[in-house]
Amino acid sequence: MSALPTKLEALAIHGGAPVRSTLLPYGRQSLDDDDIQAVVNVLQSDWLTTGPKVVEFEERFAARVGARHGVSFSSGTAALHGAAFAAGLGPGDEGITTPLTFCATANCILYQGAMPVFADVSADTLNLDPQEVSRKISARTKAIFAVDFAGHPAALDELGELAKGRGAFLIEDACHALGAEFQGKRVGGIADMTVFSFHPVKHLTTGEGGMVATNDARLAETLRRFRNHGISSEARQRQEAGQWFYEMVLLGFNYRLTDIACALGLSQLEKLPANLARRREIAAQYTEAFRDLNAIVVPAVREEAHPAWHLYPIRLNLEMLAVGRGEVFRSLRAENIGVNVHYIPVHQHPYYRERFGSEEIYPVAEDAYGRLISLPMFHSMTAQDVEDVIRAVRRVVGHYGR
């Protein structure tokens, strides 16, 4: 590892030569000829949607994550909405979740006319703090929405017990955590419902898409109906049975995932072990490279967890720097390192401020937000890409260090 640069070395933001000549994004999809051919095969088939590839993808995905059932959706957000519906959330109910997440986690509670209640996060993992959840849980709590921040599983044992004690559901937002493990079990078969995303920056992609994994057959059936207009049967089932009759039994949405997308998902699923291994390798390299930098706090990993590393979020020890997070962020972007920030706390978004106007603060989440920077993390990163990130971070931190 190269020595920490001196403050005399000009950063790109100050006119120096950038570490890279082109921008390295924080995340991106990785597709090959097999993925393309899988999609072409479906385009040349009889079914573009509601066909056999949907069922095949659902079954193989469920088996991979250790669940009895998988129900696909058109996006991770749609899958979250489906889980909130299946849990029975409605007006007068509450769903407890973290403020440090993408807004969809809380929005799905609002979609059902229920109220999101935020609880602060643990200082190490930035996942829901069970002690804070226990302070917020009430007779109105219908579900706890635990987010596996950056791919590190939440405290699923403690949160599960809290939910069970109130007769509520534990819904795990594992959109970051495909392939992660908790206490030796795969994420997907632990919570009452576990939600995954197949956005291009995730561990596998279907373009857009999502899945709810569950061991409960009744929940799975409700989810299937909800994503298909509330209709009790699907087009392929009726065609195979030679029937035309169908009934709408609940108010659902068109949240179906196409056969085109599922074919891509099936091809991508075969690459998941290699993708996970590469992400874990990159995370280990980052952690080792930044271990000696007092101005950086690397992500914590609890003993019972095996993270999936959707993100690699560092926190800046601002007391050791002469500038704030914004200047560090801009300096890294000038070096052509496509850093990002995850996330603006949900309660600080204008929509939530204007409609709910809560004065409550969440000290751990809010402090973390002011320090967080997500470094590039995707499985097709080359060895040179990783070295460029390490060099740029050390260069910028070395320049601004007190």
Rounded distance, CA 111 to CA 23, Å?
A: 37
What tokens does 231 get? 């209709």
**CA distance readout (Å), 86 to 77, 209, 221, 222:** 14, 18, 9, 6
DSSP 12: G
- CB-based contact 274:378 (threshold 8 Å): no
Q: What is the DSSP string of 113-167?
A: T-EEEE--B-TTT-SB-HHHHHHH--TTEEEEEEE-GGG----HHHHHHHHHHTT
- CB-based contact 252:227 (threshold 8 Å): yes
Amino acid at the residue 100 = L
The one catalytic residue in 53, 142, 202, 271 is 202
What tokens does 179 get? 């392939």
| 7 in catalytic set | no
Strands 181-182 and 169-173 turn out to be unpaired
Which positions are annotated as active-site residues? 202
